[in-house]
């Protein structure tokens, strides 16, 4: 169950934090770690701080881009300690855990850089944000501590489910994968250029808003196919 959950650490500078995150994960029965552009890895310091969770470090997958790291994931949740003035559904750690455990497909939970967290561009890939409520005048949560809290809530939720004997409702049709959505966004962008709605000279703001809009939907595969059918029809209409 918890093996569905991918803990993805983005741009971590201090290898000790990677080790401490592995230890935090293993205490809560999480096992799947992915690293996007770690500054130093593997490292003696990471292994020392893992304190016996070496297997998680040994199995960690390394990626050059965030996009590659989430390709097989159907639900992407980004952690943030700052309130962002953007339209994003924001979850508490507990709600994040419940939503993650309900997902039929793989789930990615993203943790950003020590100093600056995740960029707005990286947040574009997220269906939800999870915000750990902190001291308004001291929100400097260590990244491994953030992993610990999120992992703790996942572990608690799973425990509560088995105590209550709750069964999971499996979706007949899973939400489209990040890879499928990536293709959809490219197709959407090209169509908007073709029908002259989007100026390729200054495209960024519009596409970001559309990302946010469609990520909020979490369309299932058959819906993405309908949407892409519409895009193709619009492209043909233009060229006919």
| Distance in angstroms (rounded) separating the CA atoms of residues 30 and 159 | 13
> Of 64, 116, 167, 202, which lies in the binding site for its own copies, with binding defined by CB under 8 A?
167
**Helical packing angle, 143-164 and 93-102, nearest 10°:** 60
Residue 236 engages its own copies in binding (rule: CB under 8 A): yes
As measured in angstroms, the least distance from the Cβ of 108 to its own copies is: 20
As measured in angstroms, the least distance from the Cβ of 184 to its own copies is: 13
Residue among 40 and 193 whose Cβ is closer to its own copies: 193
Q: How many CA atoms lie within 13 A of 113 on its CB side?
A: 13
Residue 1 engages its own copies in binding (rule: CB under 8 A): no
| Distance in angstroms (rounded) separating the CA atoms of residues 53 and 149 | 17
Alpha helices in 165-220 (DSSP H): 178-194, 204-217
Residue 141 engages its own copies in binding (rule: CB under 8 A): yes
As measured in angstroms, the least distance from the Cβ of 41 to its own copies is: 20
> Of 145, 174, 180, 190, which lies in the binding site for its own copies, with binding defined by CB under 8 A?
145
- Give the containing element (helix H, strand E) for 12: none
As measured in angstroms, the least distance from the Cβ of 240 to its own copies is: 8
**Helical packing angle, 143-164 and 15-27, nearest 10°:** 10
The DSSP-derived string for 99-167 is: HHHH-SSEEEEEE-BTTTBS-HHHHTT-SEEEE---BTTB----HHHHHHHHHHHHHHHHHHHHHHTPP
Residue 73 engages its own copies in binding (rule: CB under 8 A): no
Residue 150: Cβ-neighbour burial (10 angstroms; 0-12, 13-18, 19+): buried
Binding segment toward its own copies, per CB under 8 A, in 35-43, 47-55, 66-74, 119-127: 47-55
Residue among 72 and 195 whose Cβ is closer to its own copies: 195
As measured in angstroms, the least distance from the Cβ of 50 to its own copies is: 10
> Of 116, 170, 201, 202, which lies in the binding site for its own copies, with binding defined by CB under 8 A?
170
Instruction: Give the footprint of its own copies on residues 171-210 (CB under 8 A).
Output: 171-173, 192, 194-197, 206, 209-210
Binding segment toward its own copies, per CB under 8 A, in 6-14, 33-41, 72-80, 216-224: 216-224
Residue 28 engages its own copies in binding (rule: CB under 8 A): yes
């Amino acid at each position: 169950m918890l093996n569905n959950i991918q803990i993805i650490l983005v741009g971590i500078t201090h290898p000790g934090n990677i080790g401490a995150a592995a230890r935090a994960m293993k205490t809560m029965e999480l096992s799947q770690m992915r690293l996007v552009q770690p500054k130093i890895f593997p490292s003696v310091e990471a292994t020392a701080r893992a304190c016996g969770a070496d297997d998680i470090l040994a199995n960690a997958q390394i990626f050059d881009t965030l996009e590659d790291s989430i390709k097989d994931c159907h639900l992407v949740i980004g952690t943030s300690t700052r309130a962002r003035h953007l339209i994003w559904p924001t979850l508490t750690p507990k709600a994040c855990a419940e939503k993650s455990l309900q997902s039929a497909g793989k789930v990615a939970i993203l943790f950003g850089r020590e100093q600056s967290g995740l960029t707005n561009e990286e947040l574009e890939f997220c269906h939800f944000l999870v915000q750990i409520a902190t001291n308004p005048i001291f929100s400097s949560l260590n990244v491994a501590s953030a992993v610990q809290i999120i992992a703790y809530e996942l572990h608690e939720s799973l425990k509560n489910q088995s105590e209550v004997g709750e069964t999971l409702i499996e979706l007949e049709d899973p939400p489209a994968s990040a890879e499928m959505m990536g293709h959809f966004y490219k197709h959407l962008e090209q169509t908007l250029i073709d029908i002259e709605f989007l100026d390729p000279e200054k495209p960024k703001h519009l596409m970001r808003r559309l990302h946010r809009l469609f990520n909020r939907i979490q369309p299932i595969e058959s819906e993405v196919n309908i949407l892409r059918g519409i895009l193709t029809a619009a492209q043909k209409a233009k060229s006919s």
